[in-house]
Structure 1
């Protein structure tokens, strides 16, 4: 009697639909630019009806593009995701020693984020090992309008682009001090752009954030200093922290 098979089944955490979707993307390459639905199904050993919803989902998400009837090629989202990842890793490598140094000089936690649609995505943290330190894990997403770094990232957008981004977004589902309307958000973004830095208070902590600019002077990422209210809300400390954050290399 084979007792290993039930154990293998119990430990099989694979998601078949996800596995098939990734296998479909891996079928494309330099020598295979396009594939028909029937070819995809044949390679997977499945019927066309079994993979129809998977292919349709990949099209909706931009990972596949329809080039003819029931014929597909890789979509722009594949390239976009790849370059975004590579760019964020380069950014982390460059910013890492500066953020670590900023943390050491201030004894405050520092974070690095980039914007993905309306979210601020945390891609690095320099954690200050103190009892009341702010520690937000890498990979966390926070709505841009709800954080100092997020609003810094939004300062990179022209007014029309900002309005288009939030045209159908709900802002009133978030607690104060997050803005509740688009005009409120636009005013905060304008003030942050003029000042050069953004301050935001949340539960028991305060953050001061500034932008990281590329060679064209465009804001491509944001960094912050964050700590307990008692430390961050002191007027002299606030100005000093804002100055140190703003002087970080770009």
Structure 2
């Protein structure tokens, strides 16, 4: 009988999980403190933390002291605190066992739901880009790109973006035996010299857009995904749709910004 009552109680609590009465304010504030630290705020004082999470200095001290006791913050001096290694261990043990495609999948679905078009994940293999994950549009357009589809890297914004991180010597080596440079539009590099010039132009760009340059009736936008461990590109996040789906200004503006935002989100979880 007690077991039945306990199950009913747990089920009732689960149904009420969105009820703010069940929230723990101290835990919310503690997590908010951990999220304050980033590349630009690696150390902060108690007063700075108190101001950012909108509590008095005494409350901030108790929260910081608790996080320090649990190993999530460490005291750097008499006045400042920084993240401790336990924070990384919270997620790294599981993230390091997950594949790139597993980690990217929920954010790719989020991107699809926001821009309503097909989303792709690609890597570089030799002189080709290979699609390793796709999320179909939830509109009438169905992408013909499938997992395992290969496209020539030199001719696509996806490929040019990921090739741009390589040294010129490495690019030349990859293409030294390529005789047939397939041309898809006036924007396609026609030889190694033209490709190297294009890569110099796009190096360090946050995204690239193709407006009918590869498939003449299609638009594509690509943004890099970086490894936290090496700082290098691990993959490319991209979207594609018929040219009629968006105006070019919309595509280069709001769509591109959303792709960059989601690529940055994925990058935060990649350690390979």
| TM category, shorter | 0.5 to 0.7
Q: Residue 233 of structure 1: CA displacement?
A: 4.7
Q: Deviations over 1:22-71 (max 9, x none)?
A: xxxxxxxxxxxxxxxxxxxxxxxxxxxxxxxxxxxxxxxxxxxxxxxxxx
Structure 2 Cα separation of the partners of residues 99 and 209 of structure 1: 13
Taking the TM superposition and a 5 Å limit, the aligned residue runs for 1:1-250 are: 90-176=99-185, 177-200=187-210, 201=212, 202-215=215-228, 216-248=230-262, 249=265, 250=267
- Are 1:197 and 1:208, in contact at CA under 8 Å, matched by a contact in 2? yes
2:178 alignment partner, SS class = coil
TM-score (norm 2): 0.56
Q: Residue 133 of structure 1: CA displacement?
A: 4.0
TM-score (norm 1): 0.60
Q: Residue 171 of structure 1: CA displacement?
A: 5.0
Q: Residue 135 of structure 1: CA displacement?
A: 3.4
Q: Residue 91 of structure 1: CA displacement?
A: 0.4
Equivalent residue pairs, number: 163
Q: Residue 97 of structure 1: CA displacement?
A: 0.5
- Are 1:197 and 1:210, in contact at CA under 8 Å, matched by a contact in 2? yes
- Are 2:165 and 2:233, in contact at CA under 8 Å, matched by a contact in 1? yes
Q: Deviations over 1:180-204 (max 9, x none)?
A: 1112212222222232212223231
- Are 1:207 and 1:232, in contact at CA under 8 Å, matched by a contact in 2? no
For structure 2, the 5+ residue unaligned runs are 1-95, 268-272
Superposition CA RMSD, Å:
1.9
1:143–1:233 Cα change, 3 Å: farther
Structure 1 Cα separation of the partners of residues 189 and 246 of structure 2: 21
